[in-house]
Amino acid sequence: MPPAVVLLSGGLDSATVLALAREQGFSCYALSVDYGQRHVAELDAARRVALTGGAQEHRVMRVDLAGIGGSALTDPAIAVPETPTAGIPVTYVPARNTIMLSLALAWAEVLGCRDIFIGVNVLDSSGYPDCRPEFIDAFSALAALATRAGVEGSPCRVHTPLIAMTKAQIVLEGTRLKVHYGQTVSCYQADASGRACGRCAACRLRRAGFEAAGLPDPTRYQGL
Amino acid sequence: MPPAVVLLSGGLDSATVLALAREQGFSCYALSVDYGQRHVAELDAARRVALTGGAQEHRVMRVDLAGIGGSALTDPAIAVPETPTAGIPVTYVPARNTIMLSLALAWAEVLGCRDIFIGVNVLDSSGYPDCRPEFIDAFSALAALATRAGVEGSPCRVHTPLIAMTKAQIVLEGTRLKVHYGQTVSCYQADASGRACGRCAACRLRRAGFEAAGLPDPTRYQGL
Instruction: Break chain A into its structural domains and give their ranges.
Output: 3-213
CA distance A103 to B147: 18
- Residue B15: predicted pLDDT: 98
Residue A211 has pLDDT above 80, yes or no: yes
CA distance A19 to A87: 32
Quick one: which of A149, A156, A148, A168 has its CA closest to A117?
A156
Q: How far is B143 from chain A (nearest CA, A)?
A: 8
- Residue A83: predicted pLDDT: 84
- Residue A37: predicted pLDDT: 85
Residue A155 CA neighbour count, 13 Å, CB half: 16
Which of B57, B91, B125, B147 is best to mutate for the A interface (most A CBs within 10 A)? B147
Residue A87 has pLDDT above 90, yes or no: no
Edge to edge, the sheet with strand A115-117 lists A57-62, A27-34, A3-7, A115-117, A157-159
Average pLDDT over residues A188-205: 93
* Beta-carbon separation of B98 and A92 below 8 A: no
The residues of chain B scoring below 70 in pLDDT are none
Average pLDDT over residues A77-92: 89
Mapped to the 3 state alphabet, what secondary structure does chain A carry?
Answer: CCEEEEECCCCHHHHHHHHHHHHCCCEEEEEEEECCCCCCHHHHHHHHHHHHCCCCEEEEEECCCCCCCCCCCCCCCCCCCCCCCCCCCCCCCCCHHHHHHHHHHHHHHHHCCCEEECCCCCCCCCCCHHHCHHHHHHHHHHHHHHCHHHHCCCCCEEECCCCCCCHHHHHHHHHHCCCCHHHCCCCCCCCCCCCECCCCHHHHHHHHHHHHHCCCCCCCECCC
* Beta-carbon separation of A88 and B151 below 8 A: yes
* Beta-carbon separation of B94 and A106 below 8 A: yes
- Residue B180: predicted pLDDT: 96
Domain A3-213 has CATH 3.40.50.620: yes
Q: What confidence tens digit (pLDDT) does each residue in A11-68 have? A: 999 999 999 999 999 999 999 999 988 878 999 999 999 999 999 999 999 999 999 9
Amino acid, res. A104:
A
Above pLDDT 70, what percent of chain A? 100
Q: How far is A83 from chain B (nearest CA, A)?
A: 20
Cβ atoms B114, B157 nearer than 8 A: yes
Which residues on B lie below 8 Å from A106 (Cβ)?
Answer: 65, 68, 70, 93-96, 98-99
State how far the alpha carbon of A55 is from the alpha carbons of A17, A136, A185, in Å.
12, 23, 18
pTM of the model: 0.96
Cβ atoms A29, A55 nearer than 8 A: yes
**Pairing of the two strands B27-34 and B57-62:** parallel
A86 — pLDDT class (breaks 50, 70, 90): confident
- Residue B122: predicted pLDDT: 86
Compute the radius of gyration of chain A from its Cα atoms: 17
